[in-house]
Amino acid sequence: DTGVSQDPRHKITKRGQNVTFRCDPISEHNRLYWYRQTLGQGPEFLTYFQNEAQLEKSRLLSDRFSAERPKGSFSTLEIQRTEQGDSAMYLCASSILSEQFFGPGTRLTVL
């Protein structure tokens, strides 16, 4: 299967800890996106990369959040000093043109 992959699939952490998620896009997809989904809501855009350049960031992406895509392939999303409000599903997507394909997500629980 050559779909978008995300790791880990589940993460439980204590408030105040740092967490890092990884996303591997579909091979040759130059665009990569991060979204966050809370219970009962649709996904919300966080940030978007074209190759290694971060082209757009949402205001939802506070100073505690940072995303990188150093070589234009996989991407990492780090959350520092996690808060209970960070509990959500974090979704990654990739595309060549406009149509985005999503990974299985990382479910974060902050205790």
Binding stretches for other proteins (CB under 8 A): 31, 33, 35, 37, 41-45, 48, 50, 55-56, 58, 89, 91, 93, 98-105, 107
Query: Residue 16 CB, nearest distance to other proteins (Å)?
Result: 26
Nearer CB in complex with other proteins: 45/74: 45
Residue placing its CB nearer to other proteins in the complex, 50 or 80: 50
H/E stretch holding 49: strand 44-50
Starting at the earlier edge strand, list the strands of the sheet with 19-24.
5-7, 19-24, 75-79, 65-68
Residue with token string 């591997």: 24
What gap in Å lies between CA 65 and CA 92, rounded to an integer? 15
Which CB sits closer to other proteins, 29 or 80?
29
